[in-house]
A and B are shown apart, each in its own frame.
Chain A
Amino acid sequence: MAQVKCENVSLAYDGMKIVSDLNFEVNKGDYLCIVGENGSGKSTLVKTLLGLKTPADGSISFGDGLTQDEIGYRPQQTSAQKDFPASVLEVVLSGCLNKLGKKPFFGKSSKQLAEKNIERLGISNLKKRCYRELSGGQQQRVLLARALCATEKLLLLDEPTAGLDPKVTMDFYALISELNKSGITIIMVSHDINAAVEYSSHILHMSHKPLFFGTTEDYVKSPIGKAFIGGDE
C-alpha cells in the first residue's frame, strides 16, 4: 500500500480552482520531486498534504503505517525566525512535540532522539549555539534534524535550497539523498529541475493540469520534461 495516495484531487486557492484531477502516489522509500512554474499550485498541494487545507475535490489517503501528523515538514523560512533567540537544541527538541502526548515536559527519550538527530546531521558542535547566528546551510540542517524528530517515515521539504549558495546546496542534496537511502521517503518541492532530475526517483510536474507524474527516467524522455529541462539551461 502507498504511504500517500492522491485520487482525483482538485486544489483551490482563494476560491479559484488551480489544479484538478491530480493523481499520484508515493511509496515507502520514494524520492518525489514536485516541479512546476510559480503559481501552479505546488505550495497549495504541500499545505493540503499536511492537512492545513482541505482539497476542493477528491481524496488524499495515508497508508503503510503513515498518519498525516507523521509527516516531517520543513517549511519555507519565515521572517520571524531570522532573529529568533533559540538554541539549536531547543529547536530540534521542539520536533519531538508530537510524541509528548499529554505530558507537559520532554522526557529522556525525547532528549535522546534530539541528540541522535543532531549527531546524524553533523551539527553536534552547534548544539548550544543560537539559531539566528547560524549560516543558511547550518539552519537547514537544524530544521531537518527537527523534522527527523517528528518522523522517521516521510520528509516534506518546501524549496529547501532557496537562498543557499551552490556549494551548500550540493551538500544539502547529498544529505537528503543519504537520508532517502536510509529508508526515509522524501517529497521535495523544487525550482532546481537539474537537481530534481539527478536525485529523485519520481517527478510530479504541476501546471494547471498535472502534466506529468511518473519515474524520473520517463520524465526525462517525455516531451514536457525535455522542454522544461531544456528551457532551464
Chain B
Amino acid sequence: MDMTFSQFLDYFALPFIQYAFIVGIIVSLCSSLLGVSLVLKRYSMIGDGLSHVGFGTLAVASALNLTNKSMFISIPVVVLAAFLLLRLNESSKIKGDSAIALISTSALAIGYTMSYTSTNSSSVDVCNFMFGSLLTIKKSEVLPSILLSVVVLVIFVFFYNRIFAVTFDETFAKATGTKSGLYNMLIAFLTAVTIVMGMKIMGTLLISALIIFPALTSMRLCKSFRGVVISSAVISIICCITGIIAGIVFGTPTGSSIVLCNLLLFLVFSIIASCIKRKKAV
C-alpha cells in the first residue's frame, strides 16, 4: 500500500467518491433484492440483456451529446426492452435465451456504431460504459438515483409476498387468482430501473454480476426465502463498500473490484456449504 491512512481518509472528503458510495450502495441493495427473484425464476440472463440495451442507449445519448440526460433516455428504453423480453419469453416463438441474445447484440451494435461515427464521443466513453467508472457519477444524478431506489425498495417490500408466490410457483399463483403476468412485469420494470442506475458504476459487462452473485451466494447456505433476501442485501452492500475501497487503495477499476469481492464471497460460501454437507453425510 503506497498511501497513508490519512491520505486514505482524505479520499472520503472528495464529493465524487461520496457519490460513488451512495449510488453504489443503493444500487447494490436494489439489485440484490431483485436478483433473488430473477435467479430463482431462471431470468438471470434478462439482466444481462437489459444491460446491453442500456449500453446502447448510453452510447447513443453520448453520440447525440446528451450525456447529461442519459438516465432519462435510458430508463424508458430499457423498461420497454424488459417488457419485450418478457413477452418473447412467453410467446415461445423465439426461445427466451435466443431472444435475449438477439436484443442485446443488436443494442450493442447500434450503440457502438453510433458512437464510432460520432465526433461527440470517444473510445474512453465506450470503455467507461463497458466497465464502469467512479468518475462518471455526477452530482445531478445522485438525487434521482436515491429517489428511484426508494421507489424500487418500497415496491419490493410492499409486494414481497406476491413476488415470492409468483417466483416459487407461477401456475399455482395464477390459478388462485394472483395476476402473475402483472407481477412479472413489475419485476422486469424494477430490474430495468436498477440496471440503468447501476450501469455507470458497474459498466454494461459487470452489472448483471450485481444481480446474480449475492442471490447465488446466499442460496448456498440460507434455507428460507426471507433468509436469502436479507443475506443477499447484506452481502451485496459489503461487497460494494469493499470493492470501492479496494479500488481507491489499489487503484483497480471499481466495477471489477466489486465483482471480485462477490466472487470471493461466493467461493467462501460454497466451500462452507460443501463442508456442512460432508459433515452431515459422515
CA distance in complex: A100, B162 (Å): 10
| CB contact under 8 A between A51 and B225, given known A81-B169, A90-B164, A94-B164 | no
> Do residues A104 and B219 form an inter-chain contact, with CB atoms below 8 A?
no
> Do residues A100 and B161 form an inter-chain contact, with CB atoms below 8 A?
yes
> Do residues B160 and A95 form an inter-chain contact, with CB atoms below 8 A?
no
> Do residues B177 and A98 form an inter-chain contact, with CB atoms below 8 A?
yes
Contacts of A75 in B (CB 8 A): 169, 171-172, 175
> Size band of the A side of the interface?
35 or more
> Do residues B223 and A105 form an inter-chain contact, with CB atoms below 8 A?
no
Tell me if A193 counts as interface (CB < 8 A to partner B): no
> Do residues B175 and A146 form an inter-chain contact, with CB atoms below 8 A?
no
In-complex Cβ contact of A150 among B41, B176, B224, B226 (8 A): B176
Q: Is the interface of B mostly helix, strand, loop or mixed?
A: helix
Contacts of A105 in B (CB 8 A): 160-161
Contacts of B174 in A (CB 8 A): 50, 52
A88: min CB distance to chain B, Å: 9
CA distance in complex: A104, B175 (Å): 19
A151: min CB distance to chain B, Å: 8
Q: Mark B249-279, 1 if CB is under 8 A from A, else 0.
A: 0000000000000000000000000000000
Q: Is the interface of A mostly helix, strand, loop or mixed?
A: mixed
In-complex Cβ contact of B40 among A80, A100, A104, A129 (8 A): A80
Tell me if B228 counts as interface (CB < 8 A to partner A): yes
Q: Mark A128-171, 1 if CB is under 8 A from B, else 0.
A: 11100100000000000011001100001000000000000000
CA distance in complex: A106, B165 (Å): 13
Q: Mark A201-217, 1 if CB is under 8 A from B, else 0.
A: 00000000000000000
B235: min CB distance to chain A, Å: 14
Tell me if B178 counts as interface (CB < 8 A to partner A): yes
Q: How many residues of B contact A (CB 8 A)?
A: 30
Tell me if A229 counts as interface (CB < 8 A to partner B): no
Contacts of B12 in A (CB 8 A): none
Contacts of B159 in A (CB 8 A): 104
In-complex Cβ contact of A85 among B41, B161, B176, B228 (8 A): B228
Contacts of A84 in B (CB 8 A): 40, 168, 225
CA distance in complex: A30, B20 (Å): 64
> Do residues A80 and B42 form an inter-chain contact, with CB atoms below 8 A?
yes
CA distance in complex: A133, B221 (Å): 12
Q: Give the contacts of B155-191 with A (CB-CB under 8 A).
A: 157-162, 164-165, 168-169, 171-178
CA distance in complex: A156, B171 (Å): 13
Contacts of B228 in A (CB 8 A): 85
> Do residues A104 and B161 form an inter-chain contact, with CB atoms below 8 A?
yes
> Do residues A73 and B224 form an inter-chain contact, with CB atoms below 8 A?
no
Q: Mark A63-90, 1 if CB is under 8 A from B, else 0.
A: 0000011111101001011011111001
Measured CB to CB, the residues of A under 8 A from B are 50-52, 68-73, 75, 78, 80-81, 83-87, 90-91, 93-95, 97-98, 100, 104-106, 128-130, 133, 146-147, 150-151, 156
23 pairs, CB–CB < 8 Å, chain A vs chain B? A51-B175, A52-B171, A69-B176, A69-B177, A75-B175, A80-B42, A85-B228, A86-B164, A87-B224, A87-B225, A91-B168, A95-B172, A95-B176, A98-B176, A98-B178, A104-B159, A104-B160, A104-B161, A105-B160, A105-B161, A130-B223, A150-B176, A151-B176
Given contacts A90-B164, A156-B175, 5 further A-B contacts (CB under 8 A): A69-B175, A69-B177, A94-B165, A105-B160, A150-B176
